[in-house]
């Protein structure tokens, strides 16, 4: 059913043990909650198991064989990440627990050193809470102001508002999601970065939804910071990535103090470690970083251009099908090429949690709620939405099952 040139989805599905699972009394699992987290291929599961089975050891410290093997495997992941997003150097890649911690690291380290009273930090109404709350904390602490670029009813950013903020000459940082986890909107980050840099303003890109779904090149973008998570791109939970341009990173103070982020510690002074280790205090999540390496290999083998092509195809199909369901309101851009593999919607007066329960009865996993985007929910004037989100292993047949379940819910609630 997929257009020529897109990978074999049925073959891909065989690599994911969980997709063979039956739920709710024997129904095949239809997993449509990929914006929250993706499933893991066997290669990732095996990589984690192999570490714990054969060379479990701490890294960067001991000189015995297993420690060397663990360190090499851990640092190999850093190299793959740098190549995956086309960073200039592995020194620009910092491991964190997740996208949230990566953004907080920037707010704490760079933000507290650079944002002053009456400065402005500009974000948008589509942001996830992880790209709102850290800036609220920082601006309140510093006596600065948080400004929001609005979003239109069509799901696109109101770019004239962004340009007006830049003209104020008070903006210290712009922080924006490249892809909305609710609307699916792909934001014009190239224009945002270019215009901001003309004013000497650095830009942070929240890539939690974009990096797993489309080719991302940080050098072409010229972004100053980018944050994303392993678990949304076939990898394990507990691993995040922060990319920072080296010249900026060199001037940033440490985020956490402790072991491994130091060279020497004396009673009253400390010499910090080289980049990027200066920002990686304590024993990291070694096993899952190594598991992430296998996830990157898997996506590289598919090709991110083809990942994006598949998602445009299945999202267009889903939008076409859901538009025929009576009583449905779909949020976000109408053009599948302008959005990621996310379809957020409401149907009549059915509460999203009730709808998710009905979907679950059919073996279909979707998300319901505010999606950690309550500012956007307020803008849309809704308490919550339902959300179906797709990835490399989803099929049009699964979309059909989803639509059939929606129709049954509509009949059940007499819509």
Residue 61's pLDDT is what? 84
Domain range enclosing 270: 46-300
Which residue, among 336, 397, 400, 395, has the nearest Cα to 6 in the 3D structure?
395
**Phi and psi of 57, rounded to 5°?**
-165, 160
Looking at the annotation, which residues are catalytic? Answer: 372
Query: Within a 13 Å sphere around the CA of 125, how many CA atoms are in the beta-carbon half?
Result: 21
Encode pLDDT of 164-193 as tens digits.
999 998 999 999 999 999 999 999 999 999
Output the domain CATH number for residue 177: 3.40.640.10
Contact 245, 233 (CB under 8 A): no
Residue 233's pLDDT is what? 98
Output the domain CATH number for residue 366: 3.90.1150.10
* pLDDT over threshold 50, residue 2: no
* % pLDDT > 70, the chain: 99
- Are 225 and 263 in a shared domain? yes
Contact 185, 157 (CB under 8 A): yes
Q: Where a domain ends, among 258, 278, 300?
A: 300
Does 356 reside within a domain? yes
Helix/strand/coil for 269: coil
State the burial class of residue 203 (Cβ atoms within 10 Å of its Cβ: 0-12, 13-18, 19+).
buried
- Are 33 and 103 in a shared domain? no
Does 1 reside within a domain? no
Helices and strands of the chain, counted as H and E runs = 15, 17
Look at strands 171-177 and 203-206 and give their pairing: parallel
Encode pLDDT of 255-269 as tens digits.
988 888 888 999 999
- Are 260 and 379 in a shared domain? no
Helix/strand/coil for 206: strand
Query: What integer is the mean pLDDT of 19-38?
Result: 97
User: What's the Cα-to-Cα distance from 301 to each of 15, 22, 312, 313, rounded to whole Å?
Assistant: 13, 28, 19, 20
C-alpha–C-alpha distance, residues 9 and 83, integer Å: 25
Residue 4's pLDDT is what? 42
Encode pLDDT of 352-370 as tens digits.
999 999 999 999 999 999 9
* pLDDT over threshold 90, residue 235: yes
- Are 295 and 309 in a shared domain? no
- Are 291 and 316 in a shared domain? no
> Rounded to 5, what percent of the chain is helix, strand, coil?
45, 20, 40
Residue 272's pLDDT is what? 87
Does 84 reside within a domain? yes
Encode pLDDT of 45-91 as tens digits.
999 999 999 999 999 988 999 999 999 999 999 999 999 999 999 99
Query: What integer is the mean pLDDT of 288-310?
Result: 98
Does 4 reside within a domain? no
Does 2 reside within a domain? no
- Are 257 and 383 in a shared domain? no
Helix/strand/coil for 349: coil
- Are 263 and 374 in a shared domain? no
Terminal Cα distance for the chain, rounded: 31
pTM: 0.95
What band does 3 get if pLDDT is binned at 50, 70 and 90? very low
- Are 324 and 245 in a shared domain? no
């Amino acid at each position: 059913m997929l257009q020529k040139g897109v990978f074999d989805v049925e073959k891909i599905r065989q690599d994911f043990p969980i997709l063979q699972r039956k739920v709710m009394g024997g129904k095949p699992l239809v997993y449509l909650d990929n914006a929250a987290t993706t499933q893991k291929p066997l290669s990732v599961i095996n990589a984690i198991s192999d570490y714990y089975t054969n060379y479990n050891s701490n890294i960067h410290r001991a000189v015995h064989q297993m420690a060397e093997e663990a360190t090499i495997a851990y640092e190999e992941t850093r190299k793959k990440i740098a190549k995956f997003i086309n960073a200039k150097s592995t020194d620009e890649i910092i491991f964190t627990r997740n996208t949230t911690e990566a953004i907080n690291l920037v707010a704490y380290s760079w933000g507290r050193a650079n944002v002053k009273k009456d400065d402005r930090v500009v974000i948008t109404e589509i942001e996830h809470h992880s790209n709102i709350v850290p800036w609220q904390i920082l601006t309140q602490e510093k006596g600065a102001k948080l400004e929001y670029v609005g979003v239109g009813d069509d799901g696109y950013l109101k770019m004239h508002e962004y340009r007006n903020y830049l003209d104020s000459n008070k903006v210290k940082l712009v922080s924006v999601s490249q892809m909305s986890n609710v609307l699916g909107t792909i934001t014009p980050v190239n224009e945002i970065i270019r215009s901001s840099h003309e004013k000497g303003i650095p830009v942070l890109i929240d890539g939690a939804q974009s990096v797993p779904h489309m080719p991302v090149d940080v050098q072409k973008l010229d972004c100053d910071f980018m944050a994303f998570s392993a678990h949304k791109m076939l990898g394990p939970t507990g691993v995040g990535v922060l990319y920072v341009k080296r010249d900026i990173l060199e001037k940033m103070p440490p985020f956490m103090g402790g072991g491994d982020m130091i060279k020497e510690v004396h009673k009253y002074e400390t010499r910090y470690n080289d980049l990027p280790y200066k920002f990686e205090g304590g024993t990291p999540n070694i096993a899952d970083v190594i598991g992430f390496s296998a996830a990157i290999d898997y996506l590289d083998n598919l090709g991110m251009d083809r990942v994006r092509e598949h998602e445009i195809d299945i999202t267009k199909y889903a939008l076409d099908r859901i538009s025929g369901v009576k009583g449905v309101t779909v949020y976000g851009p109408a053009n599948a090429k302008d959005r990621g593999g996310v379809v957020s919607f409401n149907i009549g007066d059915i509460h999203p949690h009730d709808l998710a329960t009905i979907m679950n009865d059919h073996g279909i996993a979707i998300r319901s709620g505010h999606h950690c985007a309550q500012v956007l929910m307020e803008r849309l004037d809704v308490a919550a939405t339902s959300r179906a989100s797709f990835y490399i292993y989803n099929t049009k047949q699964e979309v059909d099952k989803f639509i059939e379940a929606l129709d049954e819910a509509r009949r059940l609630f007499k819509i």
